[in-house]
Amino acid sequence: MNDLAGKHIVLGLTGGIACYKAAELCRALIKEGASVQVVMTAAAEQFITPVTLQALSGRTVYSSQWDAREPSNMPHIKLSREADAILIAPCSADFMAKLLHGRADELLSLMCLARPIAQVALLLAPAMNREMWAHPATQRNVAQLMADGTTVFDVGSGDQACGETGDGRMLEPSELLEDVIAFFQPKSLLGQHVLVTAGPTYEAIDPVRGITNLSSGKMGFAIARAAREAGAEVTLVAGPVSLATPRGVARVDVISAQDMLQAVQDKAATATVFIATAAVADWRPAHAADHKIKKDGSGATPSLNFVENPDILATLAQSARGQSRALYCVGFAAESHDLLANAKAKRARKGVPLLVGNIGPATFGQDDNALLLIDESGAKELARASKLVLARKLIVEIAIRIKAGVRA
């Protein structure tokens, strides 16, 4: 899967030590399927050579408006017209100020000013000292650039080349790549607040043992990422998994089913879509031992009594907001057999407009999956694919139903 296949990106570099990250970013964009044309300012050439970027991009690097290689002597026109986006990484405080005022005194700023705004997006990855980033002038510039339609990515926080620590670092190449990919995804859930549960729950038997399941959380995390790519505000309530939080997603970590229910109820009031992907334990020990239960050599086995866990999906679906469909609830069913019959029965039992079924043993821990969508009109299969591909397709299906007002 190449998320940027067919995209042509002008990668602009301005002066800053973060230019070293641009080499890895260039390589990452190309690996994701994009073609990359590098344009550098004179200041950028003080930090990294054009030869490096030429080798990585496979294209001649441009830095001068007067480059004799262009027959028309108008590289600011030709190069900008070919692009799907101009990504400036790193983008210095000085260059942002230049863009804000429409100054165009070298090739990169000329390209930004001359680009067809409706066709060629302008994406900025700021990089500067923490005091420069926090300065009111910089913050005013960022706000106005965004108001003008420019996309300004976040900055990172941490150690800076000057020896100080704080906000202002350019994001890491992997983070910028994810942001660029997200930029190009359709914004089908713009204005929605999506609440997602993911992963297993863990029910303690004693301080060192517990009951859990094989859910990796990968499907739920992919759905959270896809929802954020689609323009939604996303909150992810995650059971005990070791997956990285998707970019731009707010995460709440929980352990048990009761913890998950509390976290979900805390967030549900502002959510408009609830996607219950987590594999929640159906039962828990009635009482967890205070100390480790040990063998005594007698061969006797401990006796465990179980109580049923709360039904998180049904609780939200049957709440006032769920019943009115102000909160659009989507359930997941991880089955071992008879997927269609079990998924239909679960949808009816939970009272949700959409139920997504899969075969648990065939997907737990895997990077791919196959889904069966069940709603009032019948069943629809989503063929086996990567979990991110399926997550994006599911988000489209949810957005279609919300837009059409299919709530029951």
Choose one of 163, 184, 205: the last residue of a domain: 184
Gap between the Cα atoms of 60 and 364, Å rounded: 46
CA distances from 25 to 36, 63, 126, 147 (A): 10, 19, 14, 26
Q: Does 343 reside within a domain? A: yes
Q: Which domain holds residue 292?
A: 193-404
- The model carries a pTM of 0.90
Residue 407: pLDDT over 50: no
Q: For residue 168, what is the DSSP state?
A: E
Choose one of 124, 157, 184: the last residue of a domain: 184
Q: Do residues 304 and 164 both lie within one domain?
A: no
Q: Do residues 395 and 330 both lie within one domain?
A: yes
Q: Do residues 149 and 215 both lie within one domain?
A: no
Read off the pLDDT of residues 18-69 as tens digits, 9 standing for 90 and up: 999 999 999 999 999 999 999 999 999 999 999 999 999 999 999 988 877 7
Q: Do residues 262 and 174 both lie within one domain?
A: no
Choose one of 144, 167, 184: the last residue of a domain: 184
Look at residue 406 in the predicted model and tell me its pLDDT.
46
Q: Do residues 390 and 296 both lie within one domain?
A: yes
In the chain, the number of structural domains is 2
Residue 399: pLDDT over 50: yes
Q: Does 2 reside within a domain? A: no
Q: Which of 365, 403, 253, 276 is nearest to 329 (CA)?
A: 276
Q: Does 261 reside within a domain? A: yes
CATH number at residue 217: 3.40.50.10300
Q: Does 1 reside within a domain? A: no
Query: C-alpha angle 27/33/39, rounded to 5°?
Result: 50
CA distances from 116 to 11, 71, 380 (A): 17, 21, 41
Q: Do residues 314 and 370 both lie within one domain?
A: yes
Q: Does 175 reside within a domain? A: yes
Q: Do residues 263 and 355 both lie within one domain?
A: yes
Residues marked active site are found at 162
Q: Does 3 reside within a domain? A: no
